[in-house]
């Protein structure tokens, strides 16, 4: 995922770090042991990253970035509304995250949607940059209401929503994660009604959907 060139030291470090997270559920114990296993020198490691925290931050940031790049390359992307663009991202991210589910369960599952660990700093920044572009597109189409200072909070709200989708998906045990797909559809409807109109109808629809889920957990 993070580069195919065997000579790309940075990509190899991120890939090996990801494998370590999958296997152990935590970062490697020491840089020395990690480098020895990867057959690189500590100098080569520190020329790319200052710490394991920096490696993990890059790992999560690239996960978002590669999903964004993939969906933006689609032929239909220019014609999508802002709502369709957000839906496209969330569906694509959840699909891509299946390759990283063990890492997400180890590192994110126990976090609340409002928690902001340092290792997700790049992840958050990349998503917010994407969200800002979606919102700007929506404003141009009249999908997003301009509400002065309140509008500046939209990227933060969409990031919290994104984290909520991840949290829901990690707890979803339905076949093919079909409940996650339904949650994405209904919660995005609420999100866009919040920045437009019709919030009551969409909120009630989402509440009816979540009621049996909450009773079963």
**Residues across the chain:** 217
pLDDT at 200: 45
Question: What Å distances lie between residue 22 and 6, 16, 65, 108, 193, CA to CA?
Answer: 21, 10, 20, 13, 38
Cα 161 → chain centroid: 10
Q: Using alpha carbons, select from 91, 3, 80 the residue that is nearest to residue 48.
A: 3
Query: Is residue 148 a contact partner of residue 86, using CB atoms and an 8 Å limit?
Result: no
Q: Could you give the CA distance from residue 38 to residue 17 in angstroms, rounded to a whole number? A: 10
* Secondary element (H or E) of residue 60: helix 52-72
Cα torsion through 77, 81, 87, 90, rounded to 10? 60
Over the stretch 70-120, which tens digit does the pLDDT of each residue have? 999 999 999 999 999 999 999 999 999 999 999 999 899 888 888 899 999
What burial class does residue 33 get, using C-beta atoms within 10 Å of its C-beta: 0-12 exposed, 13-18 middle, 19+ buried? exposed
What is the structure's pLDDT at 199?
Answer: 53
For each successive 10 residues of the chain (217 residues), what is the average pLDDT? 61 92 87 94 95 94 96 96 97 95 91 88 96 93 77 88 96 94 94 68 61 60
pLDDT value for 129: 97
pLDDT the model gives residue 173:
92
Q: What domains are there in the chain, each with its CATH number? A: 9-48 (1.10.10), 58-215 (1.10.357)
């Amino acid at each position: 995922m993070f580069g195919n060139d065997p000579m790309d030291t940075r990509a190899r470090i991120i890939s090996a770090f990801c494998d370590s997270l999958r296997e152990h559920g935590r970062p490697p114990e020491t840089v020395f042991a990690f480098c020895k296993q990867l057959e690189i020198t500590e100098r080569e490691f520190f020329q790319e990253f200052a710490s394991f925290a920096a490696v993990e931050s890059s790992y999560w940031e690239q996960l978002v970035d590669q999903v964004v790049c993939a969906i933006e390359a689609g032929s239909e992307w220019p014609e999508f509304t802002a709502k369709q663009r957000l839906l496209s991202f969330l569906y694509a991210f959840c699909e891509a995250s299946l390759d990283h589910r063990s890492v997400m369960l180890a590192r994110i599952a126990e976090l609340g949607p409002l928690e902001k660990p340092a290792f997700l700093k790049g992840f958050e920044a990349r998503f917010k940059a994407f969200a800002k572009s979606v919102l700007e597109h929506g404003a141009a189409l009249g999908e997003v209401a301009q509400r002065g200072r309140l509008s500046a909070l939209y990227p933060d709200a969409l990031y919290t929503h994104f984290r909520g989708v991840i949290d829901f998906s990690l707890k979803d045990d339905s076949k093919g994660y079909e409940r996650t797909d339904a949650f994405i559809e209904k919660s995005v409807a609420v999100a866009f009604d919040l920045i437009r109109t019709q919030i009551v109808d969409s909120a009630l629809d989402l509440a009816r959907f979540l009621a049996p889920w909450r009773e079963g957990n």
